[in-house]
Chains A and B, each alone.
Chain A
Amino acid sequence: MSTSHVLDQKSKTAGYEADGSLASAANSVYETKQLNLWYGANHALKNIELDIKENEVTAIIGPSGCGKSTYLKTLNRMVELVPSVKTSGQILYRGRNIFDGDYGVEELRTRVGMVFQKPNPFPKSIYDNIAYGPRIHGIKNKKILDEIVEKSLRGAAIWDEVKDRLTENAYSISGGQQQRICIARALAIEPDVILMDEPTSALDPISTLKIEELVQELKKDYSIIIVTHNMQQAARISDRTAFFLNGEVIEYDKTDTIFSNPTDKRTEDYISGRFG
């Protein structure tokens, strides 16, 4: 059994659904339709329409509080951990509505990994951090776990730095390294999509650069959605950019277009630094 099929999920998520119907657009990972979200009375996402393409980096930009994190956390339904949240509309992941009653959040989250703003390794060894995901999904074989750990750490470009200290606590390494451990931990469940919420905002410039390079590398195998408040970063690493403002998508297009020739005045104002 090769490690790339340990969790055997990519093969299930191709263009056709289990019932044989054709999934809507072949190269869309996510199709968001008329999505609304409320925190209690606070209408945080308004009629979001957004298609996320396969093997691309999609950047979400916008001023603080405009709903970027909320949208990202809706894509793997982490937002539902907030008790007051209500949603309406649809998000199709590979053609299937993630809000369907019989869609298990655990299943969704094994296909959609997440990297958070602040590095949040578990207070365990580096090895146990990476092996956590495979273990909770039932992999016990030590040899397979070893392979997954190595593959994930290589995938996150941190294998050489930590290969001799796998048993050390993950808090003994630098913040930038911790964030790459968190990326490796997300890779270990062999996801289809990786969500990143301002993954470099707590890091120094060199670590930031490493993670940006890593994202470029990862998009060959994964679809990546990255929230960033750093517009240069969005311009550097993303293929498409969505500009959010007050819970609405103002503009969504190829990154080049957004940055060189935006349609909406508000987009132009934001990217030229007039507000935000």
Chain B
Amino acid sequence: MRYIEHDTVVRRMNGRMVVNTIFKSLFLLATLAALMALVILMYQIVTQGISHLSFSFLTNFASRFPDQAGIKAALIGSIWLMAVVAPTSIILGVGSALYLEEYAKQNRITTFIRMNISNLAGVPSIVFGLLGLTIFVRALALGNSILAAGFTMSLLILPVIIVASQEAIRSVPGELRDASYGMGATKWQTITKIILPAAIPGILTGSILALSRAIGETAPLIVIGVPVIIQFLPAGVMDTFTALPMQIYDWSSRPQPEFQQVAAAGIIVLMVVLLLMNSVAVIIRNKFEKRY
């Protein structure tokens, strides 16, 4: 006796094809909807902001008069912020990842720590703002300085950097470790000469994506009390400052319609910065393409 009745199979084929087509269309629609939203958003921002975009927009400080308002303080402030966040978060993040992957014994405590790092990545940014306010602004008396904001942002993106680095380190083939240890290399030599060079593309890509999240975050800065209107550039990390998303938030909340255009121009600047950072990530990924 045959189990597969070919006539029945053919009869049922039509129904199966219909279901297939329905789902294919549904998924296409979902993709298109997301894409449409993005296109509309970009179109609105660019048409609104392009008229205000000029060289003087980059070199002017904030102003009451929309046509004189510039983004200089916020742009330079964001660069200062990144100068604190990037080294702090990458050094701490890669260090933690190395400890967890290469040094820590695999026991309940490390499993617990690992689980919680992933959980931390999901904590709302405003909570990190409150943490920064308590520890850095008040307890360590750093005030609303670049350093306080930088440390807070570092904490915010640390979990993402740790998880990305852990994954990059884990993807280094075990055979390379074996080869290194087999020649009498110490753990530290194996880490610096074999593991890190092989893991660096993954670590940097993850870190840059995390940094581009930090550059767009507003909530922690508001909680820390970072001001918006600043008519000077910071001279050091203990100075106060403002950042791109703060400045954009302020402009967009002003009543005059002209300021909406200024805000849009600010968003374009922020997006160009983000685009640059992401391109660097892509370049790094392609350049150091793994060869094993």
Point out residues on A near B: beta carbons under 8 Å: 76, 78, 81, 83, 105-110, 113-114, 116, 118, 120-123, 132-133, 136-137, 169, 171, 182, 185-186, 189
Contact = CB atoms under 8 A, between A and B. Distances in A.
B179 A185 contact: yes
Given A83-B105, A83-B106, A116-B178, A136 B292 contact: no
A116 B179 CA distance: 8
Nearest to B187: A106
The 10 closest A-B pairs by CB, nearest first: A120-B175, A109-B184, A110-B184, A114-B182, A133-B183, A106-B184, A136-B185, A120-B179, A171-B291, A136-B189
Interface in B80-121: 105-106
A109 B178 CA distance: 11
A252 B169 CA distance: 42
A123 B291 CA distance: 6
Chain B binding surface, main DSSP class: helix
A56 B175 CA distance: 27
A100 B181 CA distance: 19
A86 to B, nearest CB: 15
A133 B292 contact: no
Interface string B171-199: 00101111111111110010001100110
A110 B183 contact: yes
Contacts of B198: 123
Nearest to B173: A120
Interface of B: 105-106, 173, 175-186, 189, 193-194, 197-198, 290-292
A173 to B, nearest CB: 12
17 contacts: A78-B182, A81-B178, A81-B181, A83-B105, A83-B106, A107-B184, A109-B182, A109-B184, A113-B183, A116-B182, A122-B180, A123-B292, A132-B185, A133-B184, A136-B184, A136-B186, A186-B183
A153 to B, nearest CB: 16
Nearest to B105: A83
B111 to A, nearest CB: 13
Contacts of B290: 123
Interface centre among B185, B194, B197 (most CB of A within 10 A): B185
Contacts of B175: 116, 118, 120
Contacts of A137: 184
Contact of B179 (A76, A105, A108, A122): A122
Nearest to B182: A114
Contacts of B173: 120
Contacts of A113: 182-183
B182 A76 contact: yes
Contacts of A81: 177-178, 181
Given A110-B183, A169-B291, 19 more contacts: A78-B178, A81-B178, A81-B181, A105-B184, A108-B184, A109-B181, A109-B183, A110-B184, A114-B178, A114-B183, A116-B179, A120-B175, A122-B194, A123-B176, A132-B183, A136-B183, A171-B291, A185-B179, A189-B184
Contacts of B197: 123
Contacts of A107: 184
Contacts of B184: 105-110, 133, 136-137, 189
Contacts of B183: 109-110, 113-114, 132-133, 136, 185-186, 189
A122 B185 contact: no
A215 to B, nearest CB: 18
A113 B173 CA distance: 20
Contacts of A136: 180, 183-186, 189, 193
A189 B184 CA distance: 9
A116 B173 CA distance: 13
A24 to B, nearest CB: 24
Contact of B181 (A78, A118, A171): A78
Nearest to A80: B181
Interface centre among B175, B179, B181, B198 (most CB of A within 10 A): B179
A81 B105 CA distance: 11
A78 B178 CA distance: 8
Given A106-B186, A185-B183, A122 B176 contact: yes
Contacts of A189: 183-184
B268 to A, nearest CB: 40
A118 B173 CA distance: 12
B93 to A, nearest CB: 23
A260 to B, nearest CB: 35
B185 A182 contact: no
Given A123-B198, A136-B184, A136-B189, A182 B179 contact: yes
Nearest to B190: A136
Contacts of A133: 183-184
Contacts of B176: 120, 122-123
Contacts of A78: 178, 181-182
A186 to B, nearest CB: 7
Contacts of B193: 132, 136
A110 B182 CA distance: 8
A110 B185 CA distance: 9
Contacts of A123: 176, 197-198, 290-292
Nearest to A81: B181
